[in-house]
Amino acid sequence: MYARLYGGMSSKEPPQATVPEAPAGAPQEPAQAAASAPAVPELTAGAAAILGGDEAQLLQHIQALEVEGRAASQAARVVEEVIQHKPLLGAPHIGRLVKLLVNGPARGSHAAAVTLPLLAKVAPAKVARHLEVLREGFDKVSEPAKDGMVRVFIALCIASVAYQRRVIDVLEKALAGAEAKTLVQWAELALPALKGEPHAQARAVVEQRLYELPKPQAQRIADFLGVKLRITRP
């Protein structure tokens, strides 16, 4: 009876509504976007305190880099985080960082190699005051420290062409002696930063090394320079 009144009710479940998929490239919902975003490393307590206004602590951490040990490792992370977030906070300590880069213990020198290129971008004149110390120390330092110095020199050249002639001899030496993978990195940074004759000098050094490099690095540099590698036969 009830079936006849209501037109024959069925025992089947009613069809479920389907939610259409978002087209490719459509903006994500906030929850989805947050889930797919890369995690941001959490700051150390020391870095957070300094960035929060207790800037006097930065000097204490830089001084801790002058002695090797666990405290230096912890201090290095704080110093790197602070200067990466607010480079100008490190400007008053450039002299100490230069000394660490040239003569400091390994962890302190590495921290200086990370931070000084950032400082050369925001305070090039203050870094350039120590240019002779950096130039003279290039041959004596570790490979990570050399990398830091090269990046400092490149940052100065970008800041002003006036620094090019003061650093081109060291950049030529660096490009001539770098191992293959390092040469790729330095060439791709240094050549666009140099102008005129210094650019030609540095480019000549890189081109002269093409046929002594492993094929992958040689081809990458050749592509970057816009030249064709000649096929050499034994």
Does the structure show a pLDDT above 60 at 177? Answer: yes
Does the structure show a pLDDT above 70 at 11? Answer: no
**Cα gap 35→140, rounded to integer Å:** 47
Per DSSP, 153 falls in state H
Q: What pLDDT, on the 0 to 100 scale, is given for residue 230?
A: 82
More confident residue, 12 or 161: 161
CA distances (Å), origin 207, targets 147, 222, 225: 20, 8, 8
Nearest residue to 221 (alpha-carbon basis) of 177, 173, 189: 189
DSSP 96-120: HHHHHHHHS-HHHHHHHHHHHHHHH
Q: Are 101 and 109 in contact (CB under 8 A)?
A: yes
Which run of H or of E encompasses 199? helix 196-208
Q: What pLDDT, on the 0 to 100 scale, is given for residue 41?
A: 66
Each residue of 109-163: pLDDT tens digit? 999 999 999 999 999 999 999 999 999 999 999 999 999 999 999 999 999 999 9
Instruction: Give the residue carrying structure tokens 């030249």.
Output: 227
Share of the chain above pLDDT 70, in %: 81
CA distances (Å), origin 5, targets 10, 11, 14, 81, 110: 13, 16, 19, 76, 86
Q: Are 161 and 168 in contact (CB under 8 A)?
A: no
Each residue of 21-68: pLDDT tens digit? 444 444 454 444 444 444 446 899 999 999 999 999 999 999 999 998
**Cα gap 48→232, rounded to integer Å:** 56
Flag the least confident range among 21-30, 71-80, 180-189.
Answer: 21-30
**Cα gap 153→163, rounded to integer Å:** 8
Work out the number of other CB atoms within 10 angstroms of the CB of residue 84: 13
Q: What is the mean pLDDT of the chain?
A: 86
Does the structure show a pLDDT above 60 at 1? Answer: no
Does the structure show a pLDDT above 90 at 195? Answer: yes
